[in-house]
Chain A
């Protein structure tokens, strides 16, 4: 009995030490993974909700550019075959959508109470994307130069953890298809690829000092920004879009301002309009570690389905945990070593003489 207890304690101590190692390591210096930085030539969008008139030209243009079908309720589909798009939200068939916030009498645009406001929903191209972090087969990729988050259906196994993990609920699986894919906005990267800047991934072919305008003239820009009549959706370099957003916040509401259209720094005629009553916050600057799409809104962003998020990405927390537990696979290997030693000794006991405890048990059995 004594012998077995000692053995037990020894085994227990060893196993507990081995099992506790990763746990202790996790608890003591657990830290989220280092935040990721904005890529060097990050491109993105500035969406100004106060300038949006809800015409949905961007939704139609997006479907055209990305070959997506229209969405209709069943009864409409029979009556009017596929000429009328009534997408309610982004989905497996809709990568970009305009939604409306409505309150009370809806008397005034961009007012929280008794007002309404538009919001555009699509991928925000996070600086530190959760979808990339959770994807087990590297189907989600972030372009190291432009920062566009793309999806590769040939790699994708359809586990839908990108859908589950995205803080903005952006990736959409096509549940109604037998061979469904994940659909998400990829910032029209297929249109951008003619641009000499992105013809090569390192951008080396672009001579220094070339202006954005010159570069973009030779290619197309994302369809939604291309067709936006008011410049509410504006395409450009993230750093310049951020500066533009700050400029707008500094203006006095009601003052007339020349809103650039299509491409920030481009040569299209601008739209002169009064400055909106902005919420003093550039959504997407810090949210979830920063995104490459920035929002200026007239009503609080929570009302527009843009969730309140911490300054770090949840991917940094999740990966911090994985890196703590599995750094260099040291903890699992050490644990396995301890387990093999104990299992070997204890399994050998099994065949040879049994320990006292077992014998005692046998004696108790009336046989």
Chain B
């Protein structure tokens, strides 16, 4: 037991949940087809008052935060050298692979002139002052890095003959040798684009309530990406453990709990301190839409802090609840700052249409289907050899 072992879970691929998920993907595919045939207005309630809808906010802004598990764990394991968490790395990475790849898919559905998307890569069209330009390039680069980081899982699964025939052993050796570069990039790139997702909002000015609009947006978005990354790892691990009866990682998470609680405290302190400093704290207690949304966010962040600092952090159930709460808080923060706390004026309102939501839901379902497919067929999850199961918890 010197090296960490990963093994495919095996089992039936086509199960009832898998088919239900597939149905949602088919429904989404139908509406996606309509979007391309008849235009976005045919399926979406987006307007020129709210030109950014659920496809960007749920699938990209929140979706990539859910994909930050790999980023958050790599930071802890390889940068802060906490090797104990290594078993959590690959499943977290897989979540990142799909979170980001499917965010890219959602962007292609959302782009109004998608056939020009390649212009992002042409130097004569580059616009380095644009925050979105930075986000776009950085996310593209990170998707590439994620797949490269994930490559070994494929390579390990292949039979030695195939590996030899296509000289994949050399690729494997190359990736292994320079994995540290990929790991470093895998921490740098999300640091850049997750903070930039916050900077994007600075352009909104008066349209975004001062409860969210602050020059600290980049740092707040970065911290929220990290906490959501850890939250996703906790949630996924619990779900997978309960569903597939794999070894429990609860003991590991009890250690991680303090890190997460610390980050959440830092986040809340920065947010409230900044509001106090700018003299906008009164808005939080105004009792209106924006103020209440802000308080709900704060409550969703406070709850996991209390759980994760108490003795309850050892219990898998409480870890799971804390993770859900912090994911809800982080998602609400992103949803509010991109949509719900944005007032373009002129009487504009927005609520997504059913087909628009079905596309968003379909993308998420596809993500879960691919996740299930991969953990069942590829060596992702840790320690399915029986002797390593009995970790004290």
Contact = CB atoms under 8 A, between A and B. Distances in A.
Main SS class of interface, B? helix
B27 interface: no
Contacts of B219: 23, 26
A206 B188 CA distance: 52
B184 A340 contact: yes
A165 to B, nearest CB: 4
Interface stretch (B38-46, B61-69, B281-289, B372-380): B38-46
B2 A180 contact: no
Most buried by B among A164, A176, A317, A342: A164
B117 interface: yes
Contact of A362 (B1, B78, B136): B1
A157 B390 contact: no
Contacts of A8: 80-82
A120 to B, nearest CB: 15
Contacts of A23: 219
B2 A167 contact: no
Contacts of B131: 134, 318, 322
Contacts of B161: none
A59 to B, nearest CB: 17
Interface string B192-216: 1001000110111111000000010
Contacts of A144: none
Contact of B125 (A89, A137, A322, A340): A137
A171 B82 CA distance: 49
Contact of B345 (A11, A139, A154, A307): A307
B218 A160 contact: no
A336 B203 contact: no
Nearest to B135: A136
B346 A305 contact: yes
A172 B200 CA distance: 19
Given A158-B113, A326-B134, A339 B119 contact: no
B321 to A, nearest CB: 26
Interface in B57-85: 75, 77-84
A161 B345 CA distance: 17
Contacts of A343: 78-79, 180-181, 183-184, 187
Contacts of A19: 191
Contacts of B202: 314, 317-318, 321
Interface string A172-193: 1111111111100000000000
A359 to B, nearest CB: 10
Nearest to A339: B184
B267 to A, nearest CB: 13
Interface residues of B, number: 78
A247 interface: no
Interface of A: 4, 7-8, 11-12, 15, 19, 23, 26, 30, 89, 91-92, 130, 133-139, 153-161, 163-165, 167, 169, 171-182, 305, 307-310, 314-315, 317-319, 321-323, 325-326, 332, 335-336, 339-340, 342-350, 354-355, 357-358, 361-362, 364-367
Given A92-B48, A177-B41, 18 more contacts: A4-B81, A8-B82, A11-B80, A133-B130, A134-B132, A136-B120, A155-B116, A158-B116, A160-B52, A161-B52, A172-B48, A314-B203, A314-B205, A322-B129, A322-B134, A323-B129, A339-B183, A339-B188
Nearest to A157: B116
Contact of B204 (A165, A171, A323, A325): A165
B391 interface: yes
- 6 smallest CB-CB distances across A and B, nearest first, come from A158-B112, A158-B113, A175-B41, A136-B133, A339-B184, A314-B205
B40 A175 contact: yes
21 contacts: A4-B81, A8-B81, A134-B132, A156-B116, A157-B117, A159-B132, A169-B49, A175-B41, A175-B44, A178-B39, A179-B113, A180-B113, A309-B205, A314-B202, A321-B218, A335-B191, A342-B78, A343-B78, A343-B79, A350-B86, A366-B390
B113 A153 contact: yes
Contact of A180 (B37, B39, B187, B199): B39
B36 interface: yes
Given A26-B218, A135-B127, A173 B111 contact: no
Contact of A175 (B39, B52, B391): B39
B221 to A, nearest CB: 12
A345 B184 CA distance: 11
A349 B83 contact: yes
